[in-house]
Amino acid sequence: MAYGGDMGRPRGFDEDEAVRAAVTLFGRQSFAGTSVDDLVSHLGVHRGSLYKTFGSKRGLYLAALRQHVDRDVTAAAEVFAAATDVDEAVRRITDAGPDLGLLLLALVERAPVDPEVAAETTRALARLRDARGELDRALGLLLRTRATGSAPEFVGE
């Protein structure tokens, strides 16, 4: 009766992949704007499995945000480190780089009211700051790019 803990039917979906899909959804539609039905149909994960794995919609959101910070934000930080200036880096990111929508949304929508989200966004910002000094200008550019749907005129200073 000493199980290795991996008994029974194995998971039929790739958790990492599912979480990634959640990143996309939450990053596009916000937390409140994304329903569990949305998630279920887009992640390809059964409702029951979703609740068993993540506990709640918020649990999945936190998992998504963590992965987002670890993967996409980290990738963005590398772009900043490699680029010659902030404008160039932001252009690269919004062009073909990682989608930072979830981070922006988390900062404005959830961080102010959810301490665990705030902790993650703080982690994200720290990671970005390590890479470059002009964090705020980068954030502003990303914000405007998301809002207008395309690259705004890059007004220098």
For a copy of itself, the closer CB: 14 or 136: 136
For the bound state, the minimum distance from the C-beta of residue 62 to DNA, rounded and expressed in Å, comes to 12
For DNA, the closer CB: 33 or 115: 33
* Beta strands in 11-144, from DSSP E residues, in sequence order: none
Q: Which of 87, 74, 35, 75 is nearest to 57 (CA)?
A: 35
- Please count the residues of this chain forming the interface with a copy of itself, following the rule CB under 8 A: 37
Other Cβ atoms less than 10 A from the Cβ of 109: the count is 16
Among positions 28-47, residues that touch a copy of itself (CB under 8 A) are: 28-33
CB neighbour list of residue 121: distance below 8 Å, 6 or more residues apart: 65, 103, 106, 107, 111
- What does the binding site for a copy of itself look like in residue numbers (CB under 8 A)? 28-33, 104-105, 107-109, 111-113, 118, 121-122, 125, 129, 133-141, 143-144, 146-149, 155-157
